[in-house]
Amino acid sequence: MKNEWNLKRVFIIFGLGLFIASCVSNVEEERMVIEPAEEGEVVDPNMAPVISFADDVKPIIDARCVVCHSPATRSIFPNLRNFEEVKARAERVSTRVGNGTMPQGGPLPNAQMQLIVDWVSQGALDN
Ligand code: HEC
C-alpha cells in the first residue's frame, strides 16, 4: 500500500515535469516565429517583406531620379528630393517606374523596379 502511493507520486512528479518542459519548449517555438517580425523584416500576414523608404527606395531615387527631378539640377517637375515630394506623386512614380518610362533613358533593373512598386503598394510609408 505504501509502495503503491510512492509509485503514484513518482508518476505525478514525472507528469508535472513533462508538462513544465512542454511549456518551456512552446515558449521557445513562439520566440522563433516572432523574432523576424521584431527585426522589422517580416510583418505582413502573407509574409511579404516590408520595403523601407529610407533604406530601399530613397537610395535608388537619389541615384537615378534626382539628377533630373530637382531644382538644383535639371528642375524637371515633380521634385523627388525627399519623402514628402515622392509621397505626393507616389502613384505616378510607381506607374512610370513600373512601365519602364522612368528613369528617362532606360528602365531600372527589375529588383529595384520591384522595390519601388512594392513600396507604393504597401502604402508609400515613411519607414
Ligand atoms: C534624364 C532625366 C530624368 C530622369 C533621370 C528621371 N526622369 Fe522622370 N521625368 C523626366 C522628364 C523630362 C519628365 C517629363 C516628361 C514625361 O512625363 O515623360 C519626367 C516626368 C516624371 C514624372 C511626372 C510625369 C507623370 O507621369 O506623372 C514622374 C512621376 C517621374 N518623372 C518619375 C521619375 C522617377 C521615379 C525617376 C527615377 C526612377 C525619374 N523620373 C528619373 C526626366 C527624367
Distance CA 88, CA 99 (A): 19
The set of protein residues with a Cβ atom below 6 angstroms from ligand 1 is 61, 64-65, 67-69, 76, 78, 80, 89, 92-93, 96-97, 102-105, 108
Residue with cell 523596379: 113
Averaged pLDDT for residues 86-91: 98
Name the more confident of 3 and 119. 119
Q: How far is CA 3 from CA 6, 8, 10, 15, in A?
A: 5, 9, 11, 18
Distance CA 80, CA 65 (A): 7
Count of CB atoms situated within 10 Å of the CB of 116: 26
Averaged pLDDT for residues 74-78: 94
At residue 34, the pLDDT reads: 42
At residue 12, the pLDDT reads: 59
Averaged pLDDT for residues 3-12: 66
**Whose alpha carbon is nearest atom 26 of ligand 1?**
92
Distance 81 CA to ligand 1 centre (A): 13
